[in-house]
Chain A
Amino acid sequence: MLEDIDPGKLGKVGTSARRVEVTPKLTGEGIYASDMVLPGMLWAQVKKSPHARAKILGIDTKKAEALPGVRAVLVGDELDYKLGLYVVDKDILAKGEVRHYGEAVAAVAADTQEIAKAAVDLIEVRYEVLTPVLNHMDALKSDAPLVHPNLGNYDYVPVFSPQKGTNIPNLSKVRKGDVEKGFAESEWVVEREYTNPSVQHVPMETHVALVQWKAGDEIDIWTSAQSPFTVRNLFCYTFKLPLNKVRVVVPFVGGGFGGKAGIHLEPLVACLSRKAGGRPVKLQATREEEFSLLPCRSALTYRIKTGVAADGKILAQELTMFWDAGAYADYAVNVTRASSYSGAGPYDIPNVKLDSYTIYTNKPWGTAYRGFGHVEFFWGLERHLELVAKVIGMDPLQFRLKNLLRPGSLTITGEVITDHSGDPTQCLEAAAKAINYGRLTKEEEERERRTGRKIGKGIATLHKAPAMPSFTATAAVVKMNSDGSVIVNVALTEIGQGSATAVQQIASERLRFPLSKVKVTIEKDTDKEPYDWQTVASKGIILTGNATALACDDLLAKAYSDAAQALRCQTVDLDHDGEKIFIKHRRDQSVSFAQLSVGYAFPNGNAIGGPLIGVGRYVAQGLTNLDKETGQGLPALDWTFGAHGVIVEVDAETGEYKVIKVASVFDVGKVINPEIVRGQAIGGMIQGLGTATCEGYIYDQQGHLLNPSFTDNKIPTAKDLPEEIESIAVETAQVDGPFGARGVGEHPMISVAPALGNAILDATGAELTHMPIRFEDVWRALRKKEPIDNWITKTPSGSCRSDPASRLHSPDRAVQP
């Protein structure tokens, strides 16, 4: 939509307009859910399991209940409700057994935080500790204890495939072509396995919910959440309430990254409020609880087997994803599914067999996390392509370029790529160019000489489509104030990504109003904002952007209709500017928007029209369900392609390394706001660097989380920035996106890790197959360089060599098999 407007004619879209909500954030006046207090509010605390797997033999709450100032104590047995976005497998408080370290087994609401904590300490829980299943590959064995023995009886959304009697709540499949035939025709077959651990989102504001369950089951929820309607709808599903009984309000949100995409603390807090006679109750997770009571990102083992023709064309991919989703299915089953239709990367591959397993283990569970599986699997995928390139003797850049999707290609689900899908080739070439891939500059050579360290360069591509239902929809309402300014209501939640500003710019552009006349609501209220599915998936700019533009069109149409009456003409005679609507051929005859805004009054007192309110709605167009056996169909609203180039300096003796440069390129279709896109590009890249270099959950053999705080769960600081950062946007217009735009919220985080791994390989020959890449990991990989012959399962019948011009850059630095 509007993608063919000459950029020279755009005044607001394409500028680095100031963020609409920045002032209250700068002054401390902005209220987050964690700042809220209400009259009569009680404070909640949670009793958590110290065991990864145990039967609950009994819970004694008598002493806690007797403590003065305690207003409600809850245990699992009192609550007969089941939760679950896709597979309904979770209780509000553990019932009968605990399934992960840190799981909530009881909760208290009291007059003060101190009393609540003292009461929690007085609750006595008797456990029978059981042996947990911690490794997801062990959980697949036939003798593994079942985390959910009752899986076969759980309700679930039919698009998923829970495997009864196992630890597998979902298996998603893609079948394209014939992989066995593809392998048979391949000159080379290369197979290896890659892993990465769980990590936490680490929003700076931990999860928090404030709920009041009033008389008549009228419920108000204030929460730090990404998706107010999902909170409301899942809440009502769980408690069997009509939707209009529950109001969800989301004030300022201190970061989400997917961890706040669904429903988390709200049901528990609501039950405490109800038990406390309807007093408001607030529960704020401590940082330690954020790491264990709240969910994380699933871990992954990714087995990849690639068949390649003599000329370097990939003929077959057999891909198996084993997702360690922890104790509950939550979003993880959908991460599994979304990764399945994307898991071969932005490459044109004729034969694909992909199996993606969600696996239960006794650990904190995996939820949505920026990238929705893609950060995890692109690690393996892009590291694997590097290995394949090495095996066949082809330059890794040329190898990728040869196989990238281009107009006319079919994705692994059978979708046709067009010349407006986006351009992975341009992205990869730009990333490679930005780091002078394939050679060292004079400065870099001099730096190597001076420091004695090795400089290496690596590239990796990425792509992602929004993982969302085929019928995902949203709406926008634009209401005019009596001074001619407007307020835009959308439920797409501002969580720091800049969505409110993008909506303002789109509305302002479409209305032709100055930015100062367009207000976008920041606090979201399910009673006031029109429906939006969720603030996830990088789909906001397209769906909400389009709905906003359409709402503006609707407002203008109504205004024109009223103006035509006021000016005694036809609407076709009219045009407008930021202040008024006027007759095109008699410009002095006009009526201001202010005059029309809430109804127009003629000089004699007659009135026409009324309050001007524009409504726009947009639903994803043309998406289809995927075949359950083959995964074929059209799941993608859009594809955002991209690439990273990394330059790294490595001490080949110790494994210490430093990132010199990261260049990131994304095809965003149209840059609505350059500095906001840049903020996403850099912020996401740094978060990707964190997951690549230092983040990861560490457990002991009993399933205790050993690093539940910042002491040992590190995230990047300002000093962890690369020496140089470059951010590049490509604009291949998304025809059905507003002004040609498509989303980029998640993408900057994807493929940073493999680009780094590939750069370290280039520098030193160290092969890393596990994230994070700590200095010690590089050191170990340097010492135990495994020969690549181990991963070649088919000996080439002839030698495979590409064009000499596209060889590995310097023969003396090529790694010997």
Chain B
Amino acid sequence: MLQEFNYAGPATRAELHELLSRHGKEAKLLAGGTDLVVNLRAGTAKPILVIDVKKVAEFRGISFNEKEGLVIRPSVTINELLANKVVNERFPLLAECGHDLASYQIRNRATVIGNVVNASPCSDMAPALLCLGAKAVISSKRGEREIPFSQFFKGVKKTVLAEDELLERIVVPAASSGARGSYSKLKRIAGHDLGIVGVALMKKDGQIKLGISSSAPTPVLVEGLREGDDEAKVVAAARAAISPISDVRCSKEYREFMVEVFVKRLLKEVK
């Protein structure tokens, strides 16, 4: 069972900011719950207060405008993302990364924002967001700030978020619209599993970008590659960016090997 805590379901953005400002240190934000509730049960999270983001109306929905781009808000679940027309038409790499994330029931609750603030090195969504040049819009009572996702992750399960902040919006720039890409995820079974390694490869405007998960303390972005670069160069860049470990799931050597295999396959597969 879960340990005991207090629950708050603020109805407005301001109320939520206020709660975070006062209790941020001993509070945890609740979106889909598929990470938090697991941690509450395991005792690895011991908040005094759990703050539910889902009752705030402004925190719902995906929207797109040509100026900003795609905006994903805190309550947006993975399945909601996968079903979204604009996502599928303009930013299919997001759907590629999301469709094999956990199981269908989990995807009905797990949120895109939740997946990245958790900052697990295995995050499936982070590779897409990194490749697409997405930005994290962070807010608190003190105001708003925006940073690119390439600077959002600080270490294993650590982000730049301060105790009183929340990731309020993910913004995928309109300029990334139409990027082609695909995500290869190594799993131990064909059924739902977290990624043993994950490689997203994106091609847009002659550029190639890689987003790699489960191969370093954080998800990593590899930039500076161009279509037409030879395979060895792309592979070398990927190799240089990763620092996998051996754990119960996989050895370091096989992770390195499979990252290379995935990069080569995706180079051919993504047209």
Contacts and interface: CB of A to CB of B under 8 A. Distances in A.
Interface of A: 113-114, 117, 653-654, 658, 693-694, 698, 706-707, 711-712, 714, 716-720, 774-776, 779
B1 A694 contact: no
Contact of A717 (B3, B190, B254): B190
Interface in B243-270: 248-251, 254, 257-258, 261
B206 interface: no
Given A114-B4, A711-B194, A776-B251, A653 B189 contact: no
Contacts of A719: 189-192
B144 interface: no
A783 B257 CA distance: 12
Contacts of B189: 693-694, 714, 716-717, 719-720
B1 A113 contact: yes
B191 A774 contact: no
B155 to A, nearest CB: 21
Nearest to B265: A654
Interface in B92-126: none
Interface string B1-31: 1011000000000000000000000000000
B193 interface: yes
Given A653-B261, A654-B261, A712-B249, A776 B254 contact: yes
B233 interface: no
Contacts of B261: 653-654
A654 B188 contact: no
B190 A776 contact: no
B248 A717 contact: no
Contact of B248 (A654, A712, A779): A712
Contacts of B251: 776
B179 to A, nearest CB: 27
A101 to B, nearest CB: 15
A117 B2 CA distance: 10
Given A717-B192, A775-B254, 10 more contacts: A113-B1, A712-B249, A714-B189, A716-B189, A718-B191, A719-B191, A719-B192, A720-B191, A776-B251, A779-B254
A716 B187 CA distance: 12
21 contacts: A117-B3, A654-B257, A658-B190, A694-B188, A698-B248, A706-B248, A707-B248, A714-B188, A714-B189, A714-B193, A717-B192, A719-B189, A719-B190, A719-B191, A719-B192, A720-B189, A720-B190, A775-B188, A776-B250, A776-B251, A779-B254
Nearest to A116: B1
Query: What 9 A-B pairs come out closest when comparing CB atoms?
Result: A717-B191, A719-B190, A776-B254, A719-B191, A698-B248, A706-B248, A720-B190, A714-B189, A720-B191
A698 B254 CA distance: 18
Contacts of A776: 250-251, 254
Contacts of B194: 711
A779 B190 contact: no
A719 B189 CA distance: 8
Contacts of B3: 117
Interface in B155-214: 186, 188-194
B189 to A, nearest CB: 5
A774 B257 contact: no
B20 to A, nearest CB: 27
Contacts of A694: 188-189
A714 B193 CA distance: 8
A779 B256 CA distance: 13
A659 to B, nearest CB: 10
A722 to B, nearest CB: 10
**Could you say which of B1, B3, B186 has the most chain A C-beta atoms within 10 Å of its C-beta?**
B1
Contacts of B190: 658, 717, 719-720
Nearest to A700: B248
Nearest to A43: B1
Nearest to A693: B189
Nearest to A699: B248
A693 B191 CA distance: 13
Contacts of B258: 654
Contacts of A113: 1
A779 B255 CA distance: 12
B258 to A, nearest CB: 7
Contact of B1 (A117, A707, A774, A775): A117
A542 to B, nearest CB: 36
A50 to B, nearest CB: 13
A406 to B, nearest CB: 39
B112 to A, nearest CB: 21
A774 B187 CA distance: 10
Contacts of A718: 191
Contacts of A775: 186, 188, 254
B85 to A, nearest CB: 27
A654 B263 CA distance: 13
A707 B248 CA distance: 8
**Could you say which of B186, B191, B258 has the most chain A C-beta atoms within 10 Å of its C-beta?**
B191
A774 B248 contact: no
A712 B261 CA distance: 24
A486 B210 CA distance: 69
Contacts of A706: 248
A658 B250 CA distance: 19
A711 B106 CA distance: 14
A776 B187 CA distance: 11
B192 A774 contact: no
Contacts of B188: 694, 714, 774-775
Contacts of B248: 698, 706-707, 712
Contacts of B193: 714
A712 B247 CA distance: 11
A768 to B, nearest CB: 15
A117 B192 CA distance: 31
A426 B251 CA distance: 43
Contacts of A716: 189, 191
Interface in B225-256: 248-251, 254
A250 to B, nearest CB: 26
A65 B216 CA distance: 47
**Could you say which of B186, B189, B254 has the most chain A C-beta atoms within 10 Å of its C-beta?**
B189
A142 to B, nearest CB: 32
A693 B193 CA distance: 14
A706 B1 CA distance: 21
Contacts of B1: 113-114, 117
A114 B4 CA distance: 8
A117 B193 CA distance: 30
Nearest to A659: B190
A767 to B, nearest CB: 18
Contacts of A654: 257-258, 261
Contacts of A712: 248-249
Contacts of A779: 254, 257
A113 B1 CA distance: 8
Contacts of B192: 717, 719
Contacts of A698: 248
A114 B1 CA distance: 8
A261 B190 CA distance: 31
A330 B148 CA distance: 58
A658 B254 CA distance: 18
A113 B2 CA distance: 10
A711 B122 CA distance: 13
A698 B188 CA distance: 15
Interface in B19-77: none
**Could you say which of A113, A658, A706, A774 has the most chain B C-beta atoms within 10 Å of its C-beta?**
A774
A654 B250 CA distance: 14
Contacts of B254: 775-776, 779
A717 B258 CA distance: 23
A68 to B, nearest CB: 15
A720 B193 CA distance: 12
A693 B189 CA distance: 8
Contacts of B250: 776
A654 B257 CA distance: 8
A413 B1 CA distance: 52
A658 B187 CA distance: 13
